[in-house]
Amino acid sequence: MADLDQLLARIGAAADVQALEAERVAALGKQGAVTALLKSLGSMTAEARQSEGPRIHALRERVGEAIAARRAALEAAALERRLATETLDMTLPVGAGQEGSVHPVSQVMDELAEIFADLGFAVATGPEIEDDWRNFTALNIPESHPARAMHDTFYFPDRDAEGRRMLLRTHTSPVQIRTMQTQKPPLYIIAPGRTYRSDSDSTHTPMFHQVEGLVIDRGIHLGHLKWTLETFLKAFFERDDIVLRLRPSYFPFTEPSAEVDVGYTMVKGRRVLGGSDGWMELLGSGMVHPRVIAHCGLDPDEWQGFAFGCGIDRLAMLKYGMDDLRAFFDGDLRWLRHYGFSALDVPTLSGGVGA
Ligand code: PHE
């Protein structure tokens, strides 16, 4: 087919996607030249079809390939043009008139990282889809333990490929296990992140945020725990008159365990942290249970530590004065504009983490 070279030349020269499409229709469309050749096979003798068939199909193939190649070239060129002409000015100031803002939960997480970095803690993470060994068993919460029922756990219907029962982590404590399993002590970490429980009212949402703290070292005792929490809370609330009260409590993964209350003062009918007119419960803590340390392959006679877990949403509410937790996750722009932080408002200890 003498026309073939011309056809391929036209395809190769198509200036844009529309011109290419016109060539495709002219060749391969219902009334197209190549389609007509394919149709002509039907009226040929069996012999003619045997010699012409492969030739015509090969021709169709070449035309199809030429079109695909030209289309790819045109698209690549279009992308090149866009990349060359479209720009994003990264130096534009963020602020007035800007739509986005940093959610208070993200802001508090940044503040926590800043405060604890100053105390020598690294940030650790773990997956939100966890296995029940790390979420419960390794934390000294065996199968029959009532704490499993208390956690209102979201379980996955099927086991994973390794036969493990999977769930949405009910607390950040499995990150303790992951850290001890993968890193060599001494360990000083915090682990902020999302957690899940089947629970919903004005102070509970099915998804919420916790920060876990874990220290594993030699000769660690309750005094280290209390000093660390006191230092953290004074920096976080930016007040020197933060008073803690440790109340004996129970968690399967700590022994002894302490619930930590923080003193507050009534100011114009509102509870403000600081002083000690009254007490509010803020977080759970304790000395890491030797069995938990052993589950992670460490020798509890050599390594001791403390751990604590605290609701991040609660910290944000207390510090920035919101009173309905559900509004945190409604995505209401008015709320986000009011309570959101500027992207350039990076917390620093010297500037005041909540500045
Ligand atoms: N994981 C506990 C909870 O979610 C909190 C906690 C963490 C208590 C670490 C003690 C030590 O309630």
H/E stretch holding 62:
helix 46-85
Residue 170 CA: nearest ligand 1 atom is 4
Distance 301 CA to ligand 1 centre (A): 23
In the reported structure, the alpha carbon of residue 201 is separated from the centroid of ligand 1 by a whole-number distance in angstroms of: 21
**What is the b/e burial string over 312-339, where b = at least 16 CB atoms within 10 angstroms of the residue's CB?**
bbbbbbbbeebeebebbeeeeeebbeeb
Closest CA to 347 of 319, 314, 309, 326: 319
Kindly give the parts of the chain with pLDDT less than 70.
1-2, 93-98, 150, 354-355
The closest alpha carbon to 170, from 140, 193, 146, belongs to 193
Q: Which of 26, 53, 23 is nearest to 37 (CA)?
A: 53
Bridge partners of residue 210, in order along the sequence: 193, 311
pLDDT tens profile 255-282:
999 999 999 999 988 889 999 999 999 9
Residue 195 Cβ contacting ligand 1 at under 6 Å: no
The rounded distance, in Å, linking the Cα atoms of 187 and 296 is: 13
Distance, in Å, from the CA atom of 341 to the CA atom of 320, rounded to the nearest integer, reads 11
Q: What pLDDT does residue 1 have?
A: 53
Atom of ligand 1 nearest to the CA of 213: 9
pLDDT confidence of residue 72:
95
Task: Tell me the two tokens of residue 156.
Answer: 């996955």
So what's the architecture of 104-339 in CATH?
Answer: 2-Layer Sandwich (3.30)
Residue 247: its H or E element: strand 244-251
Does ligand 1 have an atom closer than 6 angstroms to the CB of 228?
Answer: no
CA-nearest residue, atom 2 of ligand 1: 309
CA of 285 to the centre of ligand 1 (A): 6
Q: What's the pLDDT at 355?
A: 52
Residue with the smallest CA separation from ligand 1 atom 9 is: 308
Residue 312 Cα to ligand 1 middle (Å): 13
3-class state of residue 123 by DSSP? strand
Query: Which pLDDT score is estimated for 336?
Result: 92
Q: Best substitution site from 253, 255, 257, 260 to test ligand 1's pocket, by max atoms within 8 Å of Cβ?
A: 253
The three-class DSSP label of residue 168 is strand
Please state, in angstroms and rounded to a whole number, the distance separating the CA atoms of residues 92 and 134: 45
Ligand 1 contact, 289 CB (< 6 A): no
Confirm if 104 and 341 have CB atoms less than 8 A apart.
Answer: yes
pLDDT in tens, 184-198: 999 999 999 999 999
Cα of 308 to ligand 1 centre, how many Å?
6
Model pTM greater than 0.85? no
Q: Whose CA is nearest to atom 7 of ligand 1?
A: 309
Determine phi and psi for 16, rounding to 5 degrees: -150, 180
Q: Is 307 in the pocket of ligand 1 (CB under 6 A)?
A: yes
Ligand 1 centre and the CA of 266: distance in Å? 28
Q: Is 34 in the pocket of ligand 1 (CB under 6 A)?
A: no
User: Ligand 1: distance of its center to the CA of 173 in Å?
Assistant: 6
DSSP 260-311: EEEEEEEETTEEEESSSSEEEEEEEEEEEPHHHHHHTT--TTT-EEEEEEEE
Give the position, in ligand 1's atom list, of the atom nearest the Cα of 214.
9
Q: Is 309 in the pocket of ligand 1 (CB under 6 A)?
A: yes
Domain ranges of the chain: 4-85, 104-339
Residue 143 CA to ligand 1 centre (angstroms): 18
Is cis: bond before 185, omega within 30 of 0? Answer: no
Q: What is the pLDDT of residue 147?
A: 73
Going by C-alpha positions, the residue among 342, 338, 290, 284 that lies closest to residue 106 is 342
